[in-house]
Structure 1
Amino acid sequence: MKYILSVLLGAMSYGILSTIVVKAYGEGYGLGEVVGSQLLVGFLLSWSLAFYMRRRSSKRESASSRTSKPVGRLTWKQRFMLMAAGMPTAVTGLLYYHSLRYIPNSLAIILLFQFTWMGVLLHAISQRKRPNAIMLLTLAVLFGGTLLAAGIMEQGVSRFNIIGIVLGLLAAVSYTMFILFSGKAVPSVHPAIRSSWMITGGLILVFILFPPTFLLNGLLLGKLLLFGLLLGLFGAFIPPVLFAIGVPHIGEGMAGILGASELPVAVLLSSSVLHEQVSFLQWAGVGLVLIGVALPELTKKSGIRMNHHASM
């Protein structure tokens, strides 16, 4: 149960981010300042954890010759691989946060959630296998849920800013690439070390695109520090740590279902904190998206149960 709760809280943390970003924009901060401060805080927190884990691992190794997962040293090739794998998450943040300037928070999170079917499509292409009936049904449910949740059925597409929609969809593509690369980049390394180098890669990319003038002009001493702390804590630090604890014990399928809790949290905060109007039909769409995300895992589990009963 604690591993399920761990992944659930990690996903819910992600759902808080967009509301904090909109508030930061309201205070006059720019995209580079918001993402840069977030990754800087995440960088400091993740490396603090990595050094703590390495120190604890060294003590264990000195006490006993056996250790479950050593926090060892990496080659420079491995470090560059992890930094490259972490860069798409920075791109996702830049695209997603930038879309919030053009479209409502509730629509931006719906567009980001298109990574669910994009991941299925990419997997099918890489494996050269056509999606099965369950996957096609899942995609149909996700697509229908997205149309309802985005408010397109009620208001039409013309009401929404096309730049914001394109940015939101590109954020979903970038997040799909992050999921694809992050799982394959040096998986044998301890999660604390992996996430630290990945955040480092993202931070370097953002600082190249948006030079961190906020470190010198005094902006960081204002409210930007508070926004950076909140975004870094809930976006760059807590979720990776909680996922690293929980996912190995509950499996990626169940983690995908629990990860969908990010969506209702983001829409709920859009409604309650940002006072965006979310209709009953949009909430029904959110429910459909959650069902779509859970469908493959639920059918897999019911299939296992039916096979088990048949064998008895």
Structure 2
Amino acid sequence: MKYVLLVFLGACSYGILSTIVKLAYGQGYSPAEVIGGQMFFGFLLTWIPALFFLRTKPNKRQLMLLVAVGIAVGSTGVFYYNALQSIPASIAIVLLFQFTWMGVLAEAIISRRRPDTPTLFSLGLLLIGTLLSGGLFETGGLAQFHLTGVIFGLLAAVAYTLFILFSGKAAVTVNPWIRSSGMATGSFLLVACIYPPVFVWNGALWDGLFPYVFLLAFFGILIPTVCFNFGVPHIGPGMAAILGAAELPMAVFSSFIILHESVSWLQVVGVVIILIGIILPELMRKRGKRQEASLS
């Protein structure tokens, strides 16, 4: 249960990011400054605690694997931002959340085992809840599904699925703090190539950008990466993908509380359905175990 809670906490941490990004954009900062700053400080924040565990250094192969997983994290942000250039945020978040079924499918293919009934039922609820809470039915329909945006949105979902999948398999014998710093290094290297960190020397960082990118690094790199590295190896990528759906309810909640954005009843219903879809598999499994115990 503690590993389930860790992954749930990491997913909720991701949900706060959209609110912080909107606040930063409202102050006039560019996506390059915001994304680049997030990855830069994420790199620093993850390496500070990792320095205390360097006595168990990963070998070169393990380090390369961790950097590769980190590139998947950085790719998620880059693809998602590009999706937002041509489609509304409500549609982009729905596309990103296809990682729920992608993660379960990937685990089924790798393990050569069909997902159990609770998992499949939960996925159905998550997809319905995502469509409702994302406000898809209130955005004007299929006319807003621009092909380029859809492609980037689905690529973001694939990249996030790869992160969930391999964060529980890459260099699992390495200390989780070291694993997190290695992944953050991969994210930073990728984003630095696309968005060079000019904010470090052009004055933007100390002219108001710092609080936003520091919070994005804390809630978007440090907390979720560490939580996933501790939790996913113990619960598997399929269950992690389901728990990852907690990001959307948290995004809706934080936007409502901090940004005072209006939330429709359809979105509230969608959030409730997502939460039921997250909790349901564990409840059904526990019930099945109790029934097996009573029969034996």
What is the TM-score of this pair, normalised by structure 1? 0.81
| Alignment-mate amino acid for residue 252 of structure 2 | V
Structure possessing the higher radius of gyration over alpha carbons = 1
Count of matched residue pairs: 295
Match of 1:42 in 2: 42
Where do residues 1-312 of structure 1 align in structure 2 (5 Å cutoff)?
A: 6-54=6-54, 71-100=55-84, 105=89, 108-158=92-142, 160=144, 162=146, 163-244=148-229, 259-311=244-296
Contact 1:112–1:168 at 8 Å: present in 2 too? Answer: yes
Contact 1:109–1:266 at 8 Å: present in 2 too? Answer: no
Q: CA deviation at 1:195?
A: 0.8
Inter-partner Cα distance in structure 1 for 2:94 and 2:263: 12
Q: Deviations over 1:86-119 (max 9, x none)?
A: 1000011222344445555555444332211111
Contact 2:126–2:245 at 8 Å: present in 1 too? Answer: no
Secondary structure, in 3 states, of the residue corresponding to 2:10?
A: helix
Inter-partner Cα distance in structure 1 for 2:83 and 2:258: 19
Contact 1:19–1:105 at 8 Å: present in 2 too? Answer: no
Identity %: 52
Contact 2:164–2:241 at 8 Å: present in 1 too? Answer: no
Contact 2:172–2:233 at 8 Å: present in 1 too? Answer: no
| Alignment-mate amino acid for residue 152 of structure 1 | L
Q: CA deviation at 1:9?
A: 3.9
Inter-partner Cα distance in structure 1 for 2:139 and 2:190: 38
Q: CA deviation at 1:175?
A: 0.3
CA RMSD of aligned residues (A): 2.9
Which structure 2 segments of 5+ residues have no match? none
Secondary structure, in 3 states, of the residue corresponding to 2:28?
A: coil
| Alignment-mate amino acid for residue 22 of structure 2 | V
| Alignment-mate amino acid for residue 117 of structure 1 | W
What is the TM-score of this pair, normalised by structure 2? 0.85
**1:274–1:158: structure 2 CA closer, same or farther, 3 Å change rule?**
farther
Inter-partner Cα distance in structure 1 for 2:168 and 2:142: 38
Inter-partner Cα distance in structure 1 for 2:8 and 2:121: 25
Q: Deviations over 1:239-276 (max 9, x none)?
A: 23344556678887876665443322211122333344
Which structure 1 segments of 5+ residues have no match? 55-70
Q: CA deviation at 1:220?
A: 1.6
Secondary structure, in 3 states, of the residue corresponding to 1:218?
A: coil
Q: Which moved more, 1:84-93 or 1:18-27?
A: 18-27
**1:252–1:78: structure 2 CA closer, same or farther, 3 Å change rule?**
closer
Q: Which moved more, 1:105-114 or 1:169-178?
A: 105-114
Q: CA deviation at 1:181?
A: 2.1
| Alignment-mate amino acid for residue 41 of structure 2 | V
